[in-house]
Amino acid sequence: MSDGPTPKPWIEGIHAYVPGKARAADGRELVKLSANENPLGTSPAALAALTQAAPPARYPDPDAGALREGIGALHGIDPVRIVCGTGSDELLNLATQGYAGPGDEVLFTRYSFAVYDIAARRCGAVPVEAPDADYGADVDALLAAVTERTRVVFLANPNNPTGSFLPGSEVARLHAGLPRDVLFVLDQAYAEYLAPEDDDGGLALAARHDNVLVTRTFSKIYGLAGERVGWATGAPGIVDTLNRIRGPFNVTNHGQAAALAALGDQRFVERSRDHNKAELARFSDAIGALGNHGLRALPSKGNFVLVLFEGALAAAAALDGLADAGFAVRHLPGQGLPRALRITIGTREQMDAVAQTLRAMAEAVR
């Protein structure tokens, strides 16, 4: 037995986050439809800003002041109520660390973002899964799972990996049913893909209440996944808590510059949203046409589709077949989804090829 340091017992319960793959088992590079990246790439304005950022030898602005000003101007938020992070992942972890600890409970819906479970265990808290409603959040089930030990409640809206979405009325009902001393974290990583009429009211909730934190990211529609930039907004007290425990230089010079430039290119955002809307509908219809083979596409408000394999073609076999055809998609047995694949919306040609491959495989095992 080792005489070295012993990790805290709750650390051993963490299953490290598994990122989407980009290569086949034999090393071949695949078309990456496994990480919900923007198929249109990155705004030209953001790319230009990357070449003009402060040199790596200089520390970045520790407060990301210009970026917070830009976010505040776009969304009508006082920059004092904004904190930036190394992707929204860091902020989700900080929220849990700031408000939960050993013996406390962190609540979320089954089939939610994998980071919630990790964030809870990281600080010694107990992750609690509420039952889902056809792979989506159920407000009544969440409220029924709240106990006196609940300290943080996570809701991803739209939800990753299922694509489900709660309307603003249900989000407000969930918040209203929570004790005032419970932090409600609304993870809006895919919010920019929503139509304006689908706004779930999260930013307004965060502006009015002292126990709401909304997180967003530049990794998805803004196409800056590699720069790791996220932000959150909430009451000044919550923002102060996160600022106390975050890394002092957590967003790089390049990340801050690119994100600020990306905010100013809303035409790129609109083009990305329009592309996703069209291809999401087309691909969902193509999967729907395979319903007689046991394939089902869950309704999605994100830039991906969770395809269920409920017939003769198994998800694991489809994963291998798509890899043979040159595509990497996401299989999530570790999240209780062994019979599903999450497929990112790519280009029109890519989605047609994925649909055709799935059809050929489904018909071959009929």
Give the integer Cα–Cα distance in Å for 155 and 137: 8
Q: Return the number of other C-beta atoms located less than 10 Å from residue 47's C-beta.
A: 15
The answer to whether residues 206 and 222 belong to one domain is yes
258 occurs within a structural domain: yes
Confidence of residue 20 (pLDDT cuts 50, 70, 90): low
> Are 215 and 276 in the same domain?
no
**Does one domain contain both 238 and 276?**
no
Record the tokens describing residue 237, joined without a space: 């007290």
Of the listed ranges 20-29, 116-125, 146-155, the one predicted with least confidence: 20-29
- What is the pLDDT averaged over residues 78-91? 96
2 lies in a domain?
Answer: no
* Structural domain of 288: 13-41+267-365
Task: Assess whether pLDDT exceeds 90 at residue 18.
Answer: no
The SS3 call for residue 230 is strand
- Same domain? 244 vs 285: no
Note whether 32 and 129 are same-domain residues: no
Q: How confident is the model at residue 32 (pLDDT cuts 50, 70, 90)?
A: very high
Write down which residue in 215, 237, 265 finishes a domain: 265
Tokens 């009902």 belong to 173
Neighbouring residues of 18: CB distance < 8 A, sequence distance ≥ 6: 114, 334
57 shares its domain with 177: yes
Return all residues near 234 (Cβ < 8 A) that are at least 6 apart: 81, 206, 212, 213, 214
User: What is the β-pairing status of strands 126-130 and 150-156?
Assistant: unpaired
| pLDDT, tens digit (0-9, with 9 covering 90-100), for 137-151 | 999 999 999 999 999
In a domain, 139, yes or no: yes
Residue type, 70: G
Q: Indicate if 258 and 142 belong to the same structural domain.
A: yes
What is the DSSP-derived secondary structure letter of residue 19?
A: P
The answer to whether residue 97 sits within a structural domain is yes
Do 292 and 333 share a domain, yes or no? yes
Q: CA-CA distance, 287 to 78, in Å (whole number)? A: 44
* Cβ neighbours around 363 below 10 Å, total: 11
Mean pLDDT, residues 61-82 taken together = 97
The answer to whether 243 and 228 have CB atoms below 8 angstroms apart is no
- 8 Å CB contact between 89 and 207: no
- For residues 256 and 127, membership in a common domain is answered with yes
* CATH, residue 193: 3.40.640.10
Same domain, 231 and 181: yes
The model carries a pTM of 0.93
Q: How confident is the model at residue 27 (pLDDT cuts 50, 70, 90)?
A: confident
* Residue 14's pLDDT band (cuts 50, 70, 90): confident
Task: Please tell me whether residues 162 and 213 are part of one structural domain.
Answer: yes
Residue 54: is its pLDDT beyond 90? no
Provide the domain count of the chain. 2
Query: CB–CB of 70/260 below 8 Å?
Result: yes
What span, in angstroms and rounded, lies between the C-alpha atoms of 329 and 96?
Answer: 30
What pLDDT is attached to residue 363?
Answer: 95
Residue 4, class by beta-carbon neighbours within 10 Å (0-12 exposed, 13-18 middle, 19+ buried)? exposed
pLDDT-derived band at 323 (thresholds 50, 70, 90) equals very high
Query: Please, which residues bridge with residue 84 across strands?
Result: 231
pLDDT digits (tens, 9 = 90+) for 295-305: 999 999 999 99
Q: Which residues contact 312 (CB under 8 A, 6 or more apart)?
A: 293, 294, 362, 365, 366
Domain with residue 311: its CATH number is 3.90.1150.10
Is 1 within a domain?
A: no
pLDDT value, residue 22: 67
Nearest C-alpha neighbor of 198 from the set 90, 299, 290 = 299
CA angle 288, 292, 298 (to 5 degrees): 35
Strands (E), 6-110: 31-32, 82-85, 105-109
Give the full edge-to-edge strand order of the sheet including 304-309.
Answer: 295-297, 304-309, 337-344, 330-332
* pLDDT on residue 138: 98
Boundary of a domain, candidates 265, 285, 309: 265
Same domain, 28 and 92: no
pLDDT, tens digit, 9 for 90 and up, residues 225-241: 999 999 999 999 999 99
Query: How is residue 308 annotated by DSSP?
Result: E
Q: Which of 179, 192, 173, 364 is nearest to 274 (CA)?
A: 192
Domain membership flag for residue 158 = yes
Q: How does DSSP classify residue 55?
A: P
Does the pLDDT at position 274 exceed 70? Answer: yes
- In order, the DSSP letters of 331-358 are EEGGGTEEEEEEEE---HHHHHHHHHHH
Q: Output the average pLDDT for the chain.
A: 94
At residue 53, the pLDDT reads: 81
pLDDT of 7: 78
Residue 168 above 90 pLDDT? Answer: yes
> Which among 219, 244, 265 is the end of a domain?
265
